[in-house]
Amino acid sequence: MKSTIPLPHALESVKLKVLIRIFQQEDLPGVTRLDRNVGGKDRTKYYERKLQHLSNKDQIRTSLVAEVDGNLVGFLMGYIYYGEYGIPENSASIDTILVHPEFRGRTIGEQLLRTFVSQMRALGVDRIYTLVDWSDTGLSGFFAKCGFRPSPKMNLELDVREASENSNLEMVSEYL
Ligand SMILES: CC(C)(COP(=O)(O)OP(=O)(O)OC[C@H]1O[C@@H](n2cnc3c(N)ncnc32)[C@H](O)[C@@H]1OP(=O)(O)O)[C@@H](O)C(=O)NCCC(=O)NCCS
């Protein structure tokens, strides 16, 4: 089983040999471990669900991992939106991108993203979407550096518990 390792200080200035490759089923433990190390929560079930498509041979594999010396140090989970009859539509999304804290600032995130973008381009995708929390200036700064811009579409949400006390919505429900 592959593990994530801290980068020895002596290696910090050395150019890393990074391998970017397609995500395989066997990468799941390494990915959940990296996610847990960074976020502090075990999200194995979440990743298992998200990566169910890996067992479907007809589905194009779009997620990627980054390895240094055989150790998983980053990953990108991306999807293509499937249209009718399983034919890819022309848009894709990035669900998660994560680089081991000890390996950040060494272009690994950018290499993951560039590889994903060129894969998507080759598949005829012309737009890639991702959602970033307003307060996460680090992640939005990274995406901005990599060419992402705010979308003209608005992401709307409704607090369902508050909405049940909202008289306008109750009025609408009378007509349903
Ligand atoms: C965002 C992240 C993927 C960047 O990976 P990385 O390997 O450190 O990034 P890179 O070294 O490839 O940086 C690429 C460019 O983005 C910029 N960048 C990276 N992190 C940045 C930050 N926090 N703020 C602003 N710019 C940033 C770099 O300066 C670089 O630009 P440059 O070439 O002009 O110097 C990494 O910091 C990370 O994993 N953060 C946590 C993300 C997270 O919470 N994911 C879970 C939810 S999706």
pLDDT the model gives residue 1 = 42
Does 4 fall in a domain?
no
First to last CA, the chain: 55
Pick the residue whose CA is nearest to atom 27 on ligand 1. 142
* Tally of structural domains, the chain: 1
Closest atom of ligand 1 to 141 CA is: 25
The two structure tokens encoding residue 79: 């999807």
CATH number at residue 91: 3.40.630.30
Closest atom, ligand 1, to C-alpha of 112: 12
Query: Which position has the higher pLDDT, 90 or 87?
Result: 90
Domain membership flag for residue 2? no
pLDDT-derived band at 27, boundaries 50, 70, 90: very high
Which ligand 1 atom sits closest to the C-alpha of 136?
44
78 located within any domain: yes
H/E element, 17: none
50 lines ligand 1 (CB under 6 A): no
CA of 111 to the centre of ligand 1 (A): 11
2-16 residue pLDDT tens: 445 555 555 555 788
Amino acid at 27: D
Give pLDDT tens digits for 108-129.
999 999 999 999 999 999 999 9
Does 151 fall in a domain?
Answer: yes
Residue 47 belongs to a domain? yes
> For position 83, what pLDDT does the model report?
72
Reading the block at residue 31, the tokens are 């990915």
Pocket test for ligand 1, best of 12, 95, 130, 145 (most atoms within 8 A of CB): 145
User: What per-residue confidence (pLDDT) applies to 3?
Assistant: 47
Structure tokens at 60: 């194009």
Beta strands, E only, 29-120: 64-68, 71-82, 88-99
pLDDT greater than 80 at residue 99: yes
Residue 74 included in any domain: yes
Distance 108 CA to ligand 1 centre (A): 8
Task: Read off the pLDDT of each residue in 13-31 and give the average, rounded to a whole number.
Answer: 90
What is the DSSP annotation of 135-168? T-HHHHHHHHHTT----SS------HHHHTT-HH
The reply to whether ligand 1 has any atom less than 6 angstroms from the CB of 83 is no
Any idea which of 50-59, 65-74, 78-87 has the lowest mean pLDDT? 50-59
How far is Cα 31 from Cα 52, in angstroms, rounded to an integer?
Answer: 14
Q: Does 143 map to a domain?
A: yes
Q: Which domain holds residue 34?
A: 9-174
Residue among 67, 74, 72, 75 at smallest CA distance from 17: 67
Q: Is the CB of 138 under 6 A from ligand 1?
A: yes
Higher pLDDT, 31 or 48: 31
Which has the higher per-residue pLDDT, 90 or 53?
A: 90
Kindly report, residue by residue over 148-161, the tens digit of the pLDDT: 999 988 889 998 88
Give the pLDDT mean for 72-88.
Answer: 83
In a domain, 1, yes or no: no
